[in-house]
Structure 1
């Protein structure tokens, strides 16, 4: 029997649970972990995770140091120019997270607020574009970002809704104040530009997972209590 082909898969070292947990912890788990295992088992491929800071991960893929990234990668037009993307596996929105006692009635309520974001994310780009005059506080990891809000160093944070939902399950003092308008987005598996054969294989496998119920089972396991 021929050995399985090994895929070098990039993973954000600042675990965005429930997409995945910390790879170096005793319990490495999450939606993307289960989904990628189901796909690679079907394709008879072996995963070798390469953990990296988010701000470096896309560049590593572009340089060919990774075969793909399955780590909450938002599909954007600019990224499509330099990478291949599978069909989307999760749709979501950006959300503004606040304390339970705070309220956001409209997007105008974000003006003059100190807003926290993670570096090199679409949330950061959104805040830069929509609220260029606001005081913006950057964090490298999700944990750092939510700690800044809990210690009231920022008024609110902007994050992808499924990741926010995972953190809010553990932080009952916080809530999603509002979903930000016109931020409908999706995650997909990012691959090297021109890797069309792998892209087709993964798209076919994703299609099969949706048809045979595997996708729904994994989705319900991780997102049954999360709104996005």
Structure 2
């Protein structure tokens, strides 16, 4: 009998990491990767879909086994959660409407900045641009719709997610990559769950060695600039 793994999934669906779980086709880089992990470890995956801030709270409380949904590995999160080896490098970037431009950080003066709630991008913006007006949303779709409608001047988001939205909205573009924001995604687990962490890390190593990881990476990020 397969062991069941309860996985938290962001309902905001940051494609190409993963699509909407309730859509006709559930797919994405992290979907393929965790399926490959589950196949090696003979696991049965049960997804729980909710807002990003909710699944983080549930994992911390031990109500989920892991989150594989664009979790940035940070020193503060490592104090309360276990993390696998990182599986994707990325950078924060600023997205603007096609006619707008950014040169450097001084270009953000007086701009209204959009960010998602409870993300590392939000922390970055609040620290880097304390004087700016900020607009906070719970979902990616809300955030990008506000930019398209010119209700914000710029949004800051993770480069893989930006790549997915730029493919859908040709009128948007990357204004600039934010300096000093190189980061990594990793699978987050309950604090102290070292046995699962060890299994996941061994499997991620195996997927890199046998070429499966590279094939999945190329499938989803062949045309997306991550850093």
Fold match, TM over 0.5?
yes
Query: Within 5 A, what are the aligned runs for 1:16-55?
Result: 16-55=14-53
The total of aligned residue pairs comes to 226
Q: Distance in 2 between matches of 1:94 and 1:64?
A: 29
SS, match of residue 207 in structure 2: helix
Query: Within 5 A, what are the aligned runs for 1:47-126?
Result: 47-126=45-124
Q: Structure 1 unaligned runs (5+)?
A: none
Equivalent position of 1:177 in the other structure: 175
Equivalent position of 1:162 in the other structure: 160
Q: Distance in 1 between matches of 2:18 and 2:129?
A: 30
SS, match of residue 168 in structure 1: helix
Equivalent position of 1:216 in the other structure: 214
Pick one of 185, 188, 202 that aligns with 1:187: 185
Q: Distance in 2 between matches of 1:108 and 1:29?
A: 39
Q: Distance in 2 between matches of 1:59 and 1:185?
A: 22
Equivalent position of 2:202 in the other structure: 204
Measured against aligned partners, the alpha-carbon deviations of 1:70-129 in whole angstroms (never above 9, x if no partner) come to 000001111000000000000000000001211111111112110000111101100000
Q: Distance in 2 between matches of 1:39 and 1:222?
A: 17
For normalisation by structure 1, the TM-score amounts to 0.98
Q: Distance in 1 between matches of 2:21 and 2:39?
A: 19
Q: Distance in 2 between matches of 1:86 and 1:40?
A: 15
Equivalent position of 1:14 in the other structure: 12
For normalisation by structure 2, the TM-score amounts to 0.99
Q: Distance in 2 between matches of 1:104 and 1:138?
A: 21
What is the Cα deviation at residue 52 of structure 1? 1.0
Measured against aligned partners, the alpha-carbon deviations of 1:49-85 in whole angstroms (never above 9, x if no partner) come to 0001111111100111100000000011110000000
Q: Distance in 2 between matches of 1:112 and 1:208?
A: 49
Equivalent position of 2:149 in the other structure: 151
Q: Distance in 2 between matches of 1:21 and 1:92?
A: 19
Measured against aligned partners, the alpha-carbon deviations of 1:179-201 in whole angstroms (never above 9, x if no partner) come to 00000000000000011111011
Following TM superposition, the consecutive aligned residue runs of length 4 or more in structure 1 with deviations greater than 6 angstroms are: none
Q: Distance in 2 between matches of 1:183 and 1:90?
A: 14
Q: Distance in 2 between matches of 1:69 and 1:40?
A: 14
